[in-house]
C-alpha cells in the first residue's frame, strides 16, 4: 500500500502543476481543496480494492480512470463569464429549481460549457478526421477549400431549411421590432435597423458538402420579404442583394464567422443613405477616402479558436479602411460589456449616434463614426431597448443604429 500512496502523491503533484499551467484564471485554493477531496476518496477506494485483491493491474486501472475523469471537476470553470478562446458568453448556473421543466437542459449546458480542460478536449476531438469533417454536432463545420462555418445550436438545420420561419416565428420578429420602434418614437429618437446575413447565406457554395439544402425559400429571404412587407415605411436594412452582387471581393473571413471590412462597407453604403435621408448634416464617405490596408491574418479566426487551432503568424491579408482612422484605433476591452466612445468626428450639427449591436458591428463601426458628432456603443445579444433604457437615455442619442445578425432573429 506504500507504493500506492507514493503513486497517488506523485499523481497529485503532477495534476496540480498541470491544472495551474492550463487554467491560470481559476482559483488555486479551490483547485487544491477539490483535488485533495478527490484524491482522498480515490485513496479510500484503492484501499478497499487492495484488501480484496492484490492485482496491481486493477489498482493501476482504477487509479488512472478516476484521475482522468476527475479533471473536469478539478479544473471546473465556475468563475469566468466569457470564453476568451471561443469568443462567446458562457452559460450561467440556472436557478436552483430542479422541478422546472428546463432545469435539466440548462444545467447540462452549464456543465458542458464550463467543465475542466474543455479546450484541450476540443483539440483532441478536432484532430480525429471523422469528427472534424463530418460530425454535424460540432460547433464548427468544415466546408470546401478550407472554409469554416459556425454551427452553434445546430445552425446547419437552419441552413438546410429543416428549421424554417413560420407564422409564429415571424410574429416574434414583428413584436421585437415594433417594441423598439415604439421606444424610440416615445423618446424622440430616430432608429435604423440592419440585419447582416450569416456567412452561410452569402457563401453557401463553400458549405459542408454533406449537408444538402431542402427545396423552398431560404430563411433569410423569408425574413427579408416579411420585413419589407410589414415595415414598408421604416428604415430596416436587409442587405442580401447588395452583398450577393459584390462577391467579386471576399466579403466574409474564410476561418471566421464574421464579415470582413469589404462586406461591412457594402452594407454601410445602404446605411449611409438612410442616415443621410434623416440627417442631411451627416457626412458620407467618398470613394477616395477608402483605402486598402493590411492586417494580420489571425485577427479574425474565431472558428479556428473553437476548433482549438490558433495559428499566430506574421502573414497579412488585404482589407479596406477609412483613410482617417477613428474608432478603428480603439479596441474593445471586453466584448460583452458596454463601451463608450465620446469623440467628435463629424460637424456639431451631425447626429449623435448610439450603436446597439453584436459582434458584426466591429467591422461596420469605423465607417459609421466618420460622419457623427458623437458616437456610443452597447454590445448586447438582447433585443429589448426597454431593458437598456437607463443607458440609452443617459447618452441621449439622436439616432440609434441597431445591428443584429441573421441567426439571432430566428433564435
DSSP codes joined into one string, 25-38:
TS-HHHHHHHHHHH
Rounded Cα distance between 259 and 262, Å, is 8
Rounded Cα distance between 4 and 53, Å, is 14
Query: For 83-87, 315-319, 320-324, which range has the lowest pLDDT when averaged over its residues?
Result: 83-87
pLDDT of 405 reads 96
pLDDT of 263 reads 93
Quote the mean pLDDT of the chain: 79
* pLDDT tens-digit readout, 254-267: 989 999 889 999 99
Query: For 31-40, 175-184, 315-324, 331-340, which range has the lowest pLDDT when averaged over its residues?
Result: 331-340
Rounded Cα distance between 339 and 369, Å, is 14
Neighbours of 103 (CB within 10 A): 14
Positive/negative CA dihedral, 264, 268, 270, 274: positive
Q: What are the start-end ranges of the H helices in 296-405?
A: 302-306, 361-368, 389-395
Quick check: 278 pLDDT over 90?
A: yes
Q: What is the pTM of this model?
A: 0.67
Pairing state between β 88-89 and 82-83: antiparallel
> Using 50, 70 and 90 to split pLDDT, how confident is the model at 179?
very high
Q: Phi and psi (nearest 5°) for 330? A: -100, 145
pLDDT of 328 reads 38
Look up cell 480512470; give the residue: 65
CB 106 within 8 A of CB 91: yes
Q: Phi and psi (nearest 5°) for 164? A: -130, 145
Sorted by sequence, the CB contacts under 8 Å of residue 298 that are 6+ apart come out as 310, 311, 312, 313, 315
Positive/negative CA dihedral, 311, 314, 320, 326: positive
Q: What is the CA radius of gyration of the chain?
A: 26
pLDDT of 324 reads 62
Quick check: 228 pLDDT over 80?
A: yes
Q: What are the start-end ranges of the H helices in 250-396?
A: 261-278, 302-306, 361-368, 389-395
Helix or strand (DSSP H, E) at 401: strand 399-403
Nearest CA among 387, 327, 325 for reference residue 353: 327
Q: Which range scores top for mean pLDDT: 79-83, 133-137, 163-167?
A: 163-167
Amino acid at each position: 500500500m506504500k507504493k500506492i500512496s507514493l503513486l497517488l502523491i506523485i499523481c497529485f503533484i503532477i495534476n496540480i502543476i498541470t491544472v495551474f499551467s492550463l487554467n491560470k484564471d481559476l482559483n488555486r485554493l479551490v483547485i487544491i481543496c477539490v483535488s485533495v477531496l478527490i484524491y482522498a476518496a480515490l485513496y479510500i477506494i484503492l484501499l478497499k480494492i487492495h484488501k480484496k485483491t492484490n492485482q496491481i493491474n486493477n489498482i493501476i486501472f482504477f487509479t488512472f480512470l478516476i484521475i482522468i475523469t476527475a479533471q473536469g471537476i478539478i479544473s471546473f470553470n465556475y468563475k469566468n463569464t466569457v470564453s476568451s478562446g471561443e469568443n462567446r458568453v458562457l452559460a450561467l448556473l440556472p436557478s436552483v429549481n430542479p422541478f422546472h421543466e428546463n432545469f435539466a437542459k440548462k444545467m447540462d449546458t452549464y456543465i458542458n460549457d464550463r467543465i475542466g480542460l474543455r479546450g484541450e478536449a476540443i483539440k483532441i476531438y478536432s484532430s480525429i478526421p471523422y469528427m472534424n469533417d463530418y460530425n454535424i454536432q460540432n460547433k464548427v463545420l468544415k466546408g470546401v477549400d478550407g472554409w469554416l462555418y459556425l454551427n452553434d445550436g445546430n445552425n446547419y438545420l437552419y441552413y438546410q431549411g429543416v428549421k424554417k420561419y413560420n407564422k409564429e416565428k415571424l410574429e416574434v420578429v414583428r413584436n421585437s421590432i415594433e417594441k423598439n420602434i415604439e421606444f424610440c418614437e416615445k423618446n424622440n429618437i430616430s432608429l435604423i435597423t440592419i440585419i447582416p446575413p450569416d456567412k452561410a447565406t452569402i457563401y453557401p457554395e463553400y458549405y459542408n458538402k454533406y449537408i444538402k439544402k431542402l427545396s423552398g425559400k431560404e430563411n433569410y429571404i423569408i425574413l427579408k420579404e416579411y420585413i419589407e412587407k410589414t415595415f414598408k415605411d421604416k428604415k430596416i436594412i436587409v442587405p442580401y442583394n447588395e452583398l450577393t452582387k459584390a462577391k467579386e471581393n471576399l466579403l466574409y473571413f474564410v476561418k471566421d464567422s464574421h464579415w470582413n471590412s469589404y462586406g461591412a462597407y457594402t452594407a454601410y453604403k445602404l446605411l449611409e443613405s438612410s442616415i443621410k435621408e434623416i440627417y442631411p448634416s451627416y457626412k458620407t464617405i467618398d470613394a477616395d477616402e477608402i483605402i486598402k490596408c493590411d492586417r494580420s491574418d489571425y485577427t479574425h479566426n474565431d472558428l479556428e479558436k473553437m476548433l482549438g487551432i490558433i495559428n499566430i503568424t506574421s502573414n497579412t491579408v488585404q482589407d479596406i479602411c477609412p483613410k482617417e482612422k477613428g474608432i478603428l484605433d480603439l479596441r474593445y476591452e471586453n466584448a460583452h460589456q458596454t463601451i463608450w466612445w465620446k469623440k467628435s468626428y463629424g460637424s456639431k450639427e451631425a447626429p449623435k449616434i448610439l450603436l446597439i449591436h453584436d459582434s458584426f458591428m466591429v467591422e461596420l463601426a469605423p465607417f459609421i463614426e466618420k460622419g457623427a458628432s458623437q458616437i456610443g456603443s452597447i454590445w448586447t445579444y438582447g433585443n429589448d431597448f426597454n431593458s437598456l433604457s437607463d443607458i440609452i437615455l443617459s447618452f441621449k442619442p439622436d439616432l440609434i443604429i441597431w445591428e443584429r445578425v441573421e441567426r439571432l432573429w430566428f433564435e
